[in-house]
Structure 1
Amino acid sequence: MKKALNLLLFLLLFQFAQSQSLNTRWLNQLNLGMEAYAVNDYFTALKHFTDASNLVPTDTTAYIYLIDCAYKTQNAPELFKSLDKLLILGHESARNYYLAIQACVDIEKDYQKAVQYAEAAKQKFAGDPQIRMADIMLYYKYGDFEAAKARLLPFIEQFPNDKRALNILIAITLDIKKDYPEAIKLLELAQQRFPNDPEFPKKEVNIYIETRQMEAAEKKFRRLIELNPDDAKHYYNLSLIMHNKGDYEQSVALASKAIELNPGFLEAIFNVGTFYYHRGLQYNQALTLMTPYQYTYQAQGREIEDAAKSYLEAAKPYFEKAIQLNTNELGAFENLNTINVLLNNIAETRQLTDPYFTDLENEEKHKVYPDYELLSFDFFYPEQQNYLSKGQQGQLKVKISNTSDNQLRNLQIRLFQPFVNPMLSFKQSYPIDSLAAKSDTTLSIPFEYLLNNPATVGMEKTEGARNLVRFFITGPDQKYTDLKEVALVMGKAQVLASGNRQYFSETIDIDFTPNARAKNLLLVIGINNYKHWPKLTNAVSDAQFVKKVLLQKYEVETENVFELYDSHATKNNMINELIKIKGELSPQDNLIIYYAGHGDYNPITDEGAWIPYDAERNADNQYLDNTTLLNFLNALDTRHTFLIADACFSGSLFVNDDEMTYKPNNDKIKSRWGFTSGNMEYVADGAQGEGSPFAQYLVEALKENQREYIAVTELISYVKFKVRNSAVQTPIGRPLKISGNEGGEFLLYSR
């Protein structure tokens, strides 16, 4: 008996000790979870609360926190599991149901399941604001905006200071209904209720900008600065408005204030540099609009040159800072390279002309009549051409006469460009050793239009300045002839009508409009023989067929085609080709890009990518992802960009359907369109030698067009219809997710 009592006492003590140990461990896990939760480390908190619930399955505290952590970490299974545990334990709360509904909507995208939870919650917690809000969000998320609005209006009336409800109503009115007047009323109401919240005036100012109400936008930005005087973005945005109004000084001052508040504000730094840069270009280009007489004998010529130099020098440090902040800032590199070339040209021109054209106040004192004169000059292009193409040479032939009775020695023909074109190569000085008395001589001076080369890649192609060369003749006696000029035509697209040159004299405020005609550039990429990926059969031939029909039937010239096939189509080469193309483009030109090859999809970043020739499997950093591609396209200043991709998983390149607006057949307005062989899906390569279904019908549409042009949307409609009826894939054609799309449409003109 005594032994039995001792055994029972031992067991009771052991059980008590075990209970105390369990309780201590449970409390420890709970405290660790609380600590992690307090610092927003929800993943760690989730682990500790899970351990706590496993130790004491009947404790409701751990489950309540588990639901919250699971929602914040997007762990829907854990959330529903914890909610079920609480229901079994008889613990129900409106917040838990609210989070469950949100998890169905935001994480699982399960509308029916969300409705079930919402109905159960409304029965148990009728009138609870959290449940009512979850019900509203349910209708809003799944597109029943009228039902959401019908529930929002009484909710806002009952809870007028519920900011989230007001935001949803504004979103429906502004983003869905596009009812700008009503949205402005709601935003004004929101600003009355929340006067210190800058989000509402931000939304209102966006409406004014979109509807081109710049005066109202300016007032609202000034209000935003009052609300938050240390927010650099408000000063920057206001600077854009002032630039739009033409108040450049205030625009620069505001952008400079933004930089003062945020020294790393890349956009503001780039824009201030761009303002100075464009003003410098404007003055520099103006020199080509002056007559040689104005340039040499009027002070205005040097004043304009000085202004150009001053603005260009002011721009340099801003672009240098932009590059320091972002080494991939392609535009800053190009502008800085262009500035250095222009400044160097100004310095060389001054060095060349200053010994002769210096006394600008007294023309008669300045002008000297030497014993030699320039009788005639003309520029000779290659046979049967009236322009220079890349890689070609032309000759400037100058006829000089010795009018004296003496032999002349050591004459020089000196040449310079008022606005430098780095693609034009020529010597700046040509000697004439001797010229007999009363005799003439003709000198041929070669000029070459250079091919793309390392010296010119990374130069911005500046529009508006003619390819003008000026020259004069000097002798050892410091006498010289008048300044003459010749305008060279470089490339077919730059042929200008005769007699359309305009000079200016009294003003230095120049409004210059380029006269060059547009050209179509084409980048073609096709990859069959991948190094690490399965080989394709038709990508290269498809790309070449597309190129062939564009060259034969449409206004695409061979000199404007860029190509990469198989081993040449590496990621670096793709990017380098885009950089080269940027140097060739002018704002009125069009760009077509055709890619045929593998594509891939990253479910974590939710975006597709092109696979270069040498990219390895599962090596995302070696792919040309859609974000990088779109960033490069965003940097290209074209009238129209048309991207065609015959690759898997290209759907994330586009804007949403509800953002898609354009004016059919209006190619005067800028556009940025894309056309892909499929959405976020695999697409067919096709049988060997037959081409992919997408490429087959694309070429067919281009070939069969009998009209003066084919519009992008016509091309898209034809190919989509054909492919849908012959392959299990859905081609997509929409505007791209980049800036610059103003609602126009690219028209590809036939020859």
Structure 2
Amino acid sequence: MTRIFLLSIATFLLSLSTLFAQDAKQDPELQAKWHVHMDKAELLYQEENYEEALYSFVEAIRVIPTDTTAYIYGANCAFVLNDFGLVQDFANDFQGYFKYLSPDIAMLLTQIDELEYLGKVQEMVETDVDQALVLLDSAAEKYPARAIEFSKFKLNIFFQEQRIEEAVALLENLVETYPEEVDFKYNLALILHQSDDLEGAVSLYEQCLDVDPNYFNALYNLGIINYNTAVGLLNEMNQLTDEAFQAEGNALRKQSLDHFLKAKPYFEKTAELNTEDNDAIESLNSTVLQLANLRQLGTAFGEDEIVATNRSSVDDLKEAENSIEEVANDGEGIDALKNSEESIAAITAEEEVVEAVEETPKAQGQSKLLVSNLRFEYPEGAQELEKGGKGFIKFRVDNFGTGVAEEPTVKLFSVIETPGLVFDKNVVIENLEAMQGVEVSLEVSYTDSQVATRGFKAIKTDVNSFKLMIADKSLSQSDILSFDLNLSDKPSAAEEDFAMDLDIDVMEAPKYYLLMISVDEYTEWTPLDNAVKDAQDVRDMLTRHYTFEDENVFELYNEEVTASNIRKVILELKEKIQPTDNLLIYYSGHGYYDKAFEEGFWVPVNGSADLSATDTYISNETILKYVKMLDTQHTFLIADACFSGSLFAHGHRGASYADEAELFKSRWGLTSGFLQYVSDGEAGTNSPFAKALMTYLRVNRKDKMLVTQLIQYVKETVYNNTDGQMPMGDRLRNVGDEGGEFVFRKRPEPQI
């Protein structure tokens, strides 16, 4: 978000502040303290570290309440952090001190007035949305230089209220008005994409790349549009009858091939930009694999450039193998395409067959090959092929011609390549004299090795269709016949060990998991009164009124809260939780901030009272590692502890106005304060933070509540009802957030 108060007025502000620092000049000790806080705050502000800068500006105001500079820059920090209630507090205090002292202050008050508009809008959204929108229009007209910020706020309101048509109309206007603002183009493209207006979405994604050629999400989504189109064509080809396949299959194959070729460079670019993005890497590997298969499938239609095409297939298969080798852990990628080695060998053999045909004269008479009784035999008693199992393709080949069928070669094609499925695509059988036949059996195995399928995006299909034909050296060939293979989707034992790496094709209703960690009775630290009660009250609120089931609640209290026990429960969650599930982690207890190392900690029950013994605490870095290793759709971390603010990201990515916040992974945090001490509340009650949290959870009437709505209420309520306690809520840093939001789902109210 663009800063409101430009650094060009910094000199004016600093000189102005001296007019109101008379008390400091009379007290050298106060003046020294003020300079310590201000010097640190200004450095942090220049580094755009707004959370810590805000803390230092507030400390400077406490030392000298008449300090102009700290108010102005503090308000700007609060604005960047979307804490509009705090912005308004700064504005009110500022005007109370200074509005009668100088006409030059009018310039600053105008900018403060802009912030007040947003503060008023934030409050009004809860009671009168339409009036809030009118107020935003008025603000944009009054302050045209800030119109873009007011427009973004308006978009957020439209999406929160599900007023999508109005959001689209506003975005269309903004795209035209601000052609260099790539986020507007992207979010409009995203809406069109979700509405299946692919042509419009592609145009806007490409416009994003015109502005920023490395815009990751636009690159990836352009790849996905082409990838999904190609897969749709594959599934259409998969459903064709034998007769229709011979008539229409090659046209569909070429169209699918074309879209995979278009998708490939987009995935290559995204994999290059972010080598740790599994979706980009899996999409690229799967694209390369399907390209190889489609080129091989071309031989079923008598493509003229068989040799050249097959060589491309070999290159593509080797390219996918190399790609997997680069990204898999411990060198596992070396074997990732082992199931395709037979394909490579067969393609090479086929080239030799084609070359031999060119040199060998035709035998006397003409062969005529016919395939009959084609079927697949599963393991005894089975109706499908499971991972780790094998079956057999069986059929009869007869030569009803007048000449010998020399080196008849069975050609087996899968319409959609399935990682882990191993079979010979080209098998030479014995020569067949005229009117001679033979029974043929070909083994098919479905490997249970995780390495064989890791790193690939599964393609969901109702039918696994295979095509079979036979041709000899005279180029006499049978008709193309097909059979369907039923593959089990049950994971093997090897895959269950790597469940977090598997691609989920069908979105099931997500489960909501809850991890409660709380300590009152410390062995060395001062006991707390309400930490455990707060956690249990929050747990009860969530399980009674929201979709958190009792069997998905994990709890550690008092003597159970040790570093080893927390690690154990995290590992237990890692085994149980699925990538589509959501997790809320709640901690209440002591916290500590080591200023020398700028590191925050949770204090377990047995944490040492010696503040230098931080190895007995749990660092915020460790906590963030735990969050990162849990493969969830959404994770929300709540910490009611002192000095928890160092968990958050510094700086913000462009805002996303997607219709469905749940579609994109998110990692959010909410803490009861920044780098400060926080209140535990009176014994037997709740802390101010827990009270505000439960109040909003209780009064909420929306079936789906966004985490940002909860955060905003808690921040404003706690700050307004405590002595300067400032909760912080934002995305967690470097743990896999993709721009979505945790959504609380209410249970249906009981019917009376």
Tell me the TM-score range normalised by the shorter chain.
0.5 to 0.7
Counterpart in the other structure of 2:430: 433
Query: Is 1:171 matched with 2:122?
Result: yes
Which amino acid counterpart does residue 240 of structure 2 have in structure 1? M
- TM-aligned CA distance change 1:285 to 1:279, over 3 Å: same
Counterpart in the other structure of 1:526: none
Q: Deviations over 1:143-189 (max 9, x none)?
A: xxxxxxxxxxxx9xxx8992111100111122x44x43233222222
d(CA) in 1 for partners of 2:34, 2:73: 12
Aligned pairs for 1:500-539 (under 5 A) are none
Counterpart in the other structure of 2:204: 254
d(CA) in 2 for partners of 1:272, 1:608: 43
Which amino acid counterpart does residue 219 of structure 2 have in structure 1? I
SS in 1 for 2:407: strand
Q: Compute the displacement of 1:412 (Å).
A: 1.9
SS in 1 for 2:393: strand
Q: Compute the displacement of 1:219 (Å).
A: 2.2
Q: Deviations over 1:37-57 (max 9, x none)?
A: 99989xx99xx9xxx999985
Q: Compute the displacement of 1:425 (Å).
A: 0.9
Contact 1:671 1:741 in 2 (8 A): no
- TM-aligned CA distance change 1:172 to 1:289, over 3 Å: same
Aligned pair partner of 2:140 in 188, 191, 210: 191
Contact 1:470 1:484 in 2 (8 A): yes
Which amino acid counterpart does residue 625 of structure 1 have in structure 2? K
Counterpart in the other structure of 1:243: 193
Structure 2 unpaired stretches of 5+: 1-6, 43-52, 307-365, 492-503, 514-550, 553-563, 605-614, 649-661, 674-730
Q: Compute the displacement of 1:452 (Å).
A: 3.3
Q: Compute the displacement of 1:460 (Å).
A: 0.7
Query: Is 1:628 matched with 2:576?
Result: no
Aligned pair partner of 1:208 in 158, 176, 187: 158
Contact 1:80 1:100 in 2 (8 A): no
Aligned pair partner of 1:461 in 452, 458, 480: 458
SS in 1 for 2:451: coil
Contact 2:377 2:392 in 1 (8 A): yes
d(CA) in 1 for partners of 2:602, 2:414: 47
Counterpart in the other structure of 1:474: 471
SS in 2 for 1:328: coil
Contact 1:292 1:485 in 2 (8 A): yes
Higher radius of gyration, 1 or 2: 1
Which amino acid counterpart does residue 429 of structure 2 have in structure 1? I
Counterpart in the other structure of 2:266: 318
d(CA) in 1 for partners of 2:747, 2:434: 63
Counterpart in the other structure of 1:162: 113
Counterpart in the other structure of 1:263: 213
Q: Compute the displacement of 1:416 (Å).
A: 0.8
SS in 2 for 1:458: coil
Query: Is 1:332 matched with 2:280?
Result: yes
- TM-aligned CA distance change 1:100 to 1:118, over 3 Å: farther
- TM-aligned CA distance change 1:302 to 1:257, over 3 Å: same
SS in 2 for 1:162: helix
Counterpart in the other structure of 1:306: 254
RMSD of the TM alignment (CA)?
A: 6.5
d(CA) in 1 for partners of 2:175, 2:70: 41
Aligned pairs for 1:480-491 (under 5 A) are 480-491=477-488
Which amino acid counterpart does residue 167 of structure 1 have in structure 2? L
Aligned pairs for 1:274-285 (under 5 A) are 274-285=224-235
Aligned pairs for 1:711-726 (under 5 A) are none
Query: Is 1:376 matched with 2:376?
Result: no
d(CA) in 2 for partners of 1:173, 1:393: 65
Q: Deviations over 1:637-657 (max 9, x none)?
A: xxxx89999xx99x9999xxx
Contact 2:234 2:253 in 1 (8 A): yes
Aligned pairs for 1:1-80 (under 5 A) are 57=27, 69=39, 73=53, 74=56, 79-80=61-62
Which amino acid counterpart does residue 633 of structure 1 have in structure 2? T
d(CA) in 2 for partners of 1:165, 1:644: 30
Which amino acid counterpart does residue 349 of structure 1 have in structure 2? L
d(CA) in 2 for partners of 1:60, 1:38: 28
**Equivalenced residues, count:** 513
- TM-aligned CA distance change 1:487 to 1:576, over 3 Å: farther
Aligned pair partner of 2:443 in 446, 464, 470: 446
Query: Is 1:230 matched with 2:180?
Result: yes
Deviates further, 286-295 or 406-415: 406-415
- TM-aligned CA distance change 1:102 to 1:260, over 3 Å: closer
Q: Deviations over 1:631-686 (max 9, x none)?
A: x534xxxxxx89999xx99x9999xxxxxxxxxxxxxx989999x9x999xxxxxx
Query: Is 1:349 matched with 2:349?
Result: no
Which amino acid counterpart does residue 180 of structure 1 have in structure 2? V
d(CA) in 2 for partners of 1:316, 1:465: 25
SS in 2 for 1:173: helix
Contact 1:395 1:447 in 2 (8 A): yes
SS in 1 for 2:287: helix
d(CA) in 1 for partners of 2:458, 2:475: 37
Contact 1:319 1:332 in 2 (8 A): yes
Contact 2:237 2:249 in 1 (8 A): yes
Aligned pairs for 1:543-622 (under 5 A) are none
d(CA) in 2 for partners of 1:80, 1:679: 20
Counterpart in the other structure of 1:739: 740
Counterpart in the other structure of 2:312: none
Q: Compute the displacement of 1:76 (Å).
A: 5.2
Q: Compute the displacement of 1:193 (Å).
A: 1.9
d(CA) in 2 for partners of 1:326, 1:609: 35
Contact 2:223 2:266 in 1 (8 A): yes
Q: Deviations over 1:378-417 (max 9, x none)?
A: 1111222211111111111112334457664422221011
- TM-aligned CA distance change 1:233 to 1:123, over 3 Å: closer
d(CA) in 1 for partners of 2:421, 2:590: 43
d(CA) in 2 for partners of 1:616, 1:459: 42
- TM-aligned CA distance change 1:609 to 1:244, over 3 Å: farther
Which amino acid counterpart does residue 739 of structure 1 have in structure 2? G
Contact 1:288 1:465 in 2 (8 A): no
Contact 2:379 2:385 in 1 (8 A): yes
Contact 2:375 2:395 in 1 (8 A): yes
Q: Compute the displacement of 1:625 (Å).
A: 2.2
d(CA) in 2 for partners of 1:192, 1:517: 44
- TM-aligned CA distance change 1:118 to 1:375, over 3 Å: closer
d(CA) in 1 for partners of 2:196, 2:740: 22
Contact 2:234 2:256 in 1 (8 A): yes
Contact 1:371 1:403 in 2 (8 A): yes
Which amino acid counterpart does residue 80 of structure 1 have in structure 2? R
Counterpart in the other structure of 1:389: 386
Q: Deviations over 1:441-462 (max 9, x none)?
A: 3212111111234342110112
d(CA) in 2 for partners of 1:355, 1:100: 70
- TM-aligned CA distance change 1:301 to 1:211, over 3 Å: farther
d(CA) in 2 for partners of 1:305, 1:457: 26
Q: Deviations over 1:355-377 (max 9, x none)?
A: 5999xxxxxxxxxx963322212
Contact 1:373 1:401 in 2 (8 A): yes
Q: Compute the displacement of 1:474 (Å).
A: 1.6
- TM-aligned CA distance change 1:388 to 1:261, over 3 Å: same
Structure 1 unpaired stretches of 5+: 1-36, 84-91, 132-154, 359-368, 495-513, 524-552, 555-565, 583-589, 635-640, 655-668, 681-734
Q: Compute the displacement of 1:302 (Å).
A: 2.2
d(CA) in 2 for partners of 1:418, 1:245: 29
Counterpart in the other structure of 1:180: 129
d(CA) in 2 for partners of 1:238, 1:485: 44
SS in 1 for 2:207: helix
Which amino acid counterpart does residue 481 of structure 1 have in structure 2? S
